[in-house]
Amino acid sequence: MLTKHVVAFLICLSLICLPSTSAMQAKSPQDILRAAGKAYYNLPNEGLLEFQCSAVPDWQVMLAAELHTDVPPDHPAIKILQGIISGFLSISKERPN
């Protein structure tokens, strides 16, 4: 015989697993795209006008992983690699609505 907890669990599970009637309605591709667009932030509309970041890798660790050996801190390749600067800058030309 099933206990009350098992019966309650099965009832809850069946309610969760039943599809809702709104999900069963057919939607046009435009409606789906519009709903998806509203599900995400539009950063320029939220006031973000510029984004900037830079990356400074640990070249010793990366070089050791690539060469499959320990790399001393004074390895000549590390000095060359430290001159590489990676960055990204994005400026929005549109003003928020």
Residue 73 or 11, more confident: 73
Query: Does 13 have pLDDT greater than 80?
Result: no
Cβ proximity of 52 and 87 under 8 Å: yes
Q: How far is residue 84's CA from residue 82's CA, in Å, rounded to a whole number?
A: 5
Q: How far is residue 59's CA from residue 74's CA, in Å, rounded to a whole number?
A: 11
Residue 74: the pLDDT is 92
Domain extents in the chain: 4-91
**Each residue of 49-78: pLDDT tens digit?**
888 888 888 999 999 999 999 999 999 999
Which H or E run contains 11? helix 4-17
Cβ proximity of 62 and 78 under 8 Å: no
SS3 84: coil
Residue 69: the pLDDT is 92
Residue 19: the pLDDT is 59
